[in-house]
Structure formats: C-alpha cells, structure tokens
C-alpha cells in the first residue's frame, strides 16, 4: 500500500489499520522520517518536497512488489508527504510486517534505502540565509547498493 | 517530444515542461542533453555538470544510453533526495 499526500499521518492509526484482524503477523517494524530543525548549522524555517507524480506512483508500486517478494512481507505501507513542511513534522512512514523480525527489519530498511536513492522526490530547505536544494548523498547510494 | 523538468533543473531552465522537436539523429537521452545544451543559455549552464543530470523516459529511470523516440516523455532532474 502506497500513499503520497500533503497532509500529516498518524503512526498509531496506520499501525492499527495495517494489523487489524490479522493473525499472520508476528513482527511489525515502522520507520518515521521527520523534518530536522536545522540545515547547515542554521535553524530550518521549512522543508518543501517536490515530486514527479506519475513516476512516483509507478516506482513505488514496483518497489513495494519487490520488497514483498524478496522479504516475504505479509503487509507493507509507504506514506510520503509532499509540499511545505516545518521542523518536527513527519515526512515519510514505512511499515513492514512479516511472520518474523528478520524480514520485517530488512524489508523496512530496504524500502527506506530505495526511497532515498530512487524515488522521484526533491527537498528544498529554507533558512534565514535563503533557500537551497538538498544534495543527494553518496552514503545513501552506498547503503542502497548493499541490497544489489 | 514532451520534456519535463524538476527541482533545481526546473528552476534553472525556468519552466516545468516543454515540447521539443529534435532532429532524427538525436536518438538517446545523452544526445538529447547535448542538443538541449547546444541551444545556449540557460540550458548549457543547467546541464553543464552531467553527473547532476538524471533522466526518466516514460516514467522509468533512464541512462544517457537509453533510446528515445518522438512520442516519449523525457524528464530531467537532479539526483533524488526523498525519503
């Protein structure tokens, strides 16, 4: 299950919705990404997320299929927000559920590493020094390559 | 051919989309980038550092070797920073 939205999400509500009525889940792992309050040593005013809608939809569906197949996930959820966000706000949620914790942890990490390196979103940071696009990190690419 | 631009590439070019009609010998993403850069500014400056130019053809990640056809949608954007 994949959602791209501007509004916030509630982790507890999403967890409850995903696990309700299921007797086959032994392990449920979640990751939440939040807007940090600083950028380059300065207080952050806002983070704006731009995305490529048609490509995001296609790409997220594909990656979820791969995660489910590869890690035998029983259920998964990816929510990614777009638009203007303020410090402390949630940006992204990944939930991965499987019979056992090894697959649930690995599935969640795999989905996050993929989101960081392949999902078509771009971040723009505003501070009192003005606005700037965030640069992609080599460390994210290195982490994603581990799964190859 | 429909072109889409995102993030800093969109800002630099000053448009989020445009239709172009490259010559028939422009057959790959890389050739298209070269052709756009040859149009002059702002394309040349925005596309100067090829390591920071990524592309998608019909909503799928593409490399500079990926072939393109007149009916395709080609998007250009910087390395992604989602998640």
pLDDT single digits (tens) A114-123? 999 999 999 9
Band (A29; pLDDT cuts 50, 70, 90) = very high
**Chain A residues with a Cβ under 8 Å from any Cβ in chain B:** 33, 49-52, 54-55, 58-59, 80, 91-92, 112, 115-124, 133-136, 140
Which pLDDT tens digit goes with each residue over A50-98? 999 999 988 888 888 999 999 999 999 999 999 999 999 999 999 999 9
Specify which residues A78 forms β-bridges with: A2, A94
pTM of the model: 0.93
Rounded to 5 degrees, what angle do the CA atoms B7, A81, B83 make?
70
B57 or A59, which is more confident: B57
pLDDT attached to residue A60? 87
Q: What average pLDDT does the segment B50-78 reach?
A: 97
In sequence order, the 6+-apart residues with CB closer than 8 A to the CB of A17 are: none
| B45: confidence class by pLDDT, cuts 50, 70, 90 | very high
For chain B, what is the mean pLDDT?
A: 97
User: What is the CA A75 to chain-centroid distance, rounded?
Assistant: 15
ipTM of the complex: 0.94
pLDDT given at position A121: 97
State yes or no: pLDDT of A148 exceeds 90: no
Interface test with A, best of B9, B49, B60, B83 (most A CBs within 10 A): B83
Instruction: Provide, as residue numbers in chain A, all residues whose Cβ is less than 8 Å from the Cβ of B56.
Output: 52, 55, 120
- Check pLDDT > 90 for residue B80: yes
Q: Which residues, listed in sequence order, are joined to residue A92 by a DSSP beta bridge?
A: A33, A80
Q: Do A122 and B80 touch (CB under 8 A)?
A: yes
Place of tokens 């559920």: A97
């Amino acid at each position: 299950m994949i959602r791209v939205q501007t509004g916030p999400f509630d982790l507890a509500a999403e967890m409850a919705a995903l696990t309700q009525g299921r007797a086959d889940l032994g392990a449920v792992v979640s990751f939440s990404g939040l807007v940090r309050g600083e950028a380059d040593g300065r207080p952050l005013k806002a983070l704006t997320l731009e995305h490529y809608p048609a490509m995001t939809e296609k790409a997220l569906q594909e990656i979820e299929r791969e995660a489910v197949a590869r890690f035998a996930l029983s259920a998964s959820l990816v929510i990614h927000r777009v638009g203007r966000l303020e410090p402390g706000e949630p940006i992204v949620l990944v939930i991965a559920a499987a019979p056992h914790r090894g697959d649930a942890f690995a599935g969640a990490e795999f989905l996050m590493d993929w989101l960081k390196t392949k999902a078509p979103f771009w971040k723009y940071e505003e501070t009192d020094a003005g606005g700037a696009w965030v640069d992609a990190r080599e460390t994210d690419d290195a982490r994603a390559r581990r799964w190859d | 051919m429909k072109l889409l631009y995102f993030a800093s590439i969109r800002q630099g070019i000053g448009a989020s989309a445009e239709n172009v009609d490259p010559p028939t010998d422009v057959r790959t993403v890389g050739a298209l980038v070269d052709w756009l850069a040859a149009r002059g500014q702002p394309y040349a400056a925005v596309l100067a550092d090829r390591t920071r130019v990524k592309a998608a053809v019909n909503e799928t990640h593409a490399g500079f070797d990926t072939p393109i056809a007149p009916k395709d949608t080609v998007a250009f954007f910087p390395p992604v920073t989602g998640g």
